[in-house]
């Protein structure tokens, strides 16, 4: 922490350190026994989304101390700064205005220009593109309507839209096929292109800078494929390509038709960009009306985050429970376990959101942090996870808090199977807390394993928007308390630069023997 932040929160930090020691032998079950109102005190019920955080190793003293930590930090001021559009991303001198993307009444201005005007224009362009593609009026070079849409991007330009499209696939209804390409491994795009008809395929190229190496390599592969199959010289300038970027001039230089360029802005971080024009693939997949319902759900969580008292704020509570385990009980990871197959990509999405945002070791003032920051985020869907890693959760030696996520009302599949699915999740959370005593060591369950449970009323655009925004704000709260910048990602740059040097043979002799040998063995260097 910086000196100022350390001074503000040092008393709360010391109190929590002491409580971690004094409550080390406490039992979650005893907490329930001693407080008949524990569930009421340790749950938050919002329209569409419910959080039960009662199964945590947190008593009233710990909870009050955690809230005190948040109060003594700069959280409320930083929260206001983020929503106001202040340049809280200090290393890139940018605001972090993903919240404005879902606020049609935003008053934020950048250089005297209301951002809502820019956002509204791009939303209208998104709607027009989406409607044309979905209705069949957007045609390819030979006049055939589009049947397949390929989103080319990486990181936030891929994972967020892909996760949402998979989660909400029942809202598609058009018969359009939506594909996602991200990996620079050429086998991925080659395998996909072999299944597509060039006359009816549309590529959406998503790159903030329009210089991202992986995205441009895959885009060039798509261009070459269209050249071969449609016999046109510059397919990137045809109706088979749409570009989404914060650098429209770079896309124009690449040859994309300016009419087919949608924009977002440098004040939108990649991992927060699904709410922007980067979400065009979502709009195409589920319809733009449903895309706007996704925005509305996120806005509902924004409003809750802004208005709820800290002790009744879902993002704050999730953030503080995570800090308790991470910083005071020594947990190094958190498992995300959605009991819904359509949320299969949600753990991976949260990996990027959390670990890219808060995987930092430098404070806002440039000093080394004095505490651990982001945990390792991992997970898989239940019930598959029960037959994979739940053995470690129940009987392993590591403390791993868990976030369970489930859908109450299921509109697809057999109702009894859904009942079994929900029963499996509820049972696992209960078993992790309860444990079981046995005179056979290998059948002994220590119990006292913590978890949160999140229940969505339905897996619809509004509820999913709430869920995603909840975790965005959780990550932000933790970053504020750790006094780090959650909105840059300089850690990904060094490897990318070195890749370029290796490929251009400009790395010189400044390489270790292992790297030089691997380059020789893999054919990168004679």
- Smallest CA-to-CA distance from 267 within 258, 254, 280, 276 is with 276
Output the six-digit token pair for 241. Answer: 């390509």
List active site positions: 356, 387, 496
Q: Taking a C-beta distance cutoff of 8 angstroms, is the pair 294, 380 a contact?
A: no
What is Dmax (Cα atoms) for the chain?
A: 76
Crossing angle (nearest 10°) for helices 288-307 and 115-135? 150
**190: number of Cβ within 10 Å:** 11
Distance CA 369, CA 367 (A): 6
- Smallest CA-to-CA distance from 70 within 320, 372, 350 is with 320
CATH of domain 3-72+308-488: 3.40.50.10490
C-alpha dihedral (123, 172, 379, 272), degrees to nearest 10: 0
**520: number of Cβ within 10 Å:** 11
Is the peptide bond prior to 63 cis by the omega test (within 30 degrees of 0)?
A: no
Residues in CB range of 107: below 8 A, 6 or more apart: 114, 116
State the pLDDT at residue 503.
Answer: 83
Output the six-digit token pair for 171. Answer: 């809202």
Q: In what order do the strands lie in the sheet with 241-245?
A: 177-181, 148-152, 201-206, 241-245, 261-263
Q: Taking a C-beta distance cutoff of 8 angstroms, is the pair 450, 398 a contact?
A: no
Q: Mean pLDDT, consecutive 10-residue segments, the chain of 526 residues?
A: 58 96 98 97 98 98 98 96 96 96 94 94 98 97 97 96 97 90 96 98 96 94 97 96 97 97 95 98 98 98 98 98 98 98 98 97 95 97 96 97 97 92 98 96 96 98 98 98 96 85 75 88 84
What are the start and end residues of each CATH 3.40.50.10490 domain in the chain?
3-72+308-488, 98-291
Helices H, strands E: what count in the chain?
Answer: 20, 13
pTM, full prediction:
0.96
Distance CA 455, CA 500 (A): 45
CATH of domain 98-291: 3.40.50.10490
Distance CA 114, CA 118 (A): 7
Distance CA 317, CA 56 (A): 11
Distance CA 278, CA 243 (A): 9
Q: In what order do the strands lie in the sheet with 402-409?
A: 43-46, 49-52, 451-458, 402-409, 333-339, 376-379
State the pLDDT at residue 1.
Answer: 47
Question: Which residue has 């016999």 as its token pair?
Answer: 231
Sign of the dihedral through C-alpha 8, 9, 12, 14: negative
* Beta partners for residue 458, in sequence order: 409
């Amino acid at each position: 922490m910086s000196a100022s932040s350390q001074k503000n929160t040092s008393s709360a930090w010391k109190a929590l350190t002491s409580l971690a020691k004094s409550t080390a032998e406490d039992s979650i079950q005893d907490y329930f026994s001693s407080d008949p109102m524990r569930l009421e005190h340790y749950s938050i019920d919002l329209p569409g989304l419910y959080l039960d955080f009662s199964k945590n190793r947190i008593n009233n003293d710990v909870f009050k101390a955690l809230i005190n930590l948040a109060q003594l930090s700069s959280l409320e001021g930083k929260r206001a700064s983020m929503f106001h559009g202040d340049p809280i991303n200090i290393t890139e001198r940018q605001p972090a205005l993903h919240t404005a993307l879902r606020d049609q009444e935003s008053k934020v201005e950048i250089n005297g220009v209301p951002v809502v005007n820019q956002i509204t224009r791009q939303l209208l362009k998104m709607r027009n593109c989406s409607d044309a593609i979905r209705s069949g009026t957007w045609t390819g070079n030979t006049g055939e309507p589009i049947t397949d849409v390929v989103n080319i991007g990486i990181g936030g330009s891929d994972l967020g839209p892909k996760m949402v499209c998979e989660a909400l696939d029942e809202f598609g209804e058009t018969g359009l096929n939506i594909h996602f390409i991200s990996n620079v491994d050429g086998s991925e795009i080659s395998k996909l292109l072999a299944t597509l008809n060039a006359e009816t395929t549309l590529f959406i190229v998503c790159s903030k800078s329009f210089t991202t190496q992986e995205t441009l390599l895959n885009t060039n592969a798509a261009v070459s494929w269209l050249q071969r199959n449609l016999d046109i010289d510059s397919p990137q300038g045809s109706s088979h390509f749409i570009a989404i970027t914060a650098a429209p001039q770079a896309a124009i230089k690449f040859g994309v038709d300016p009419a087919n360029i949608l924009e977002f802005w440098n004040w939108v971080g990649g991992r927060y960009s699904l709410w922007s024009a980067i979400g065009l693939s979502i709009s195409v997949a589920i319809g733009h009306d449903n895309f706007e319902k996704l925005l509305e759900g996120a806005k509902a969580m924004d409003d809750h985050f802004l208005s709820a008292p800290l002790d009744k704020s879902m993002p704050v509570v999730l953030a503080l429970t995570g800090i308790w385990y991470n910083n005071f009980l020594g947990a190094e990871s958190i498992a995300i376990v959605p009991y819904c197959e359509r949320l299969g990509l949600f753990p991976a999405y949260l990996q990027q959101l959390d670990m890219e945002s808060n995987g930092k070791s430098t404070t806002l003032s440039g000093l080394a942090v004095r505490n651990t920051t982001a945990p390792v985020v991992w997970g898989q869907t239940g019930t598959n996870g029960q037959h994979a890693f739940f053995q470690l959760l129940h009987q392993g030696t590591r403390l791993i808090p868990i976030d369970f996520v489930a859908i109450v009302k299921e509109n697809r599949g057999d109702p009894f199977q859904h009942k079994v699915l929900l029963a499996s999740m509820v049972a696992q959370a209960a078993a992790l807390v309860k444990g079981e005593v046995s005179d056979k060591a290998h059948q002994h369950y220590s119990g006292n394993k913590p978890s949160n449970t999140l229940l969505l009323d339905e897996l619809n655009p509004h509820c999913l928007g709430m869920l995603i925004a909840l975790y965005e704000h959780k990550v932000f709260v933790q970053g504020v308390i750790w006094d780090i910048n959650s909105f840059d990602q300089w850690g990904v740059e060094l490897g990318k630069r070195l890749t370029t040097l290796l490929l251009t043979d400009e790395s010189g002799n400044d390489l270790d023997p292992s790297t030089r040998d691997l380059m020789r063995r893999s054919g990168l260097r004679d």
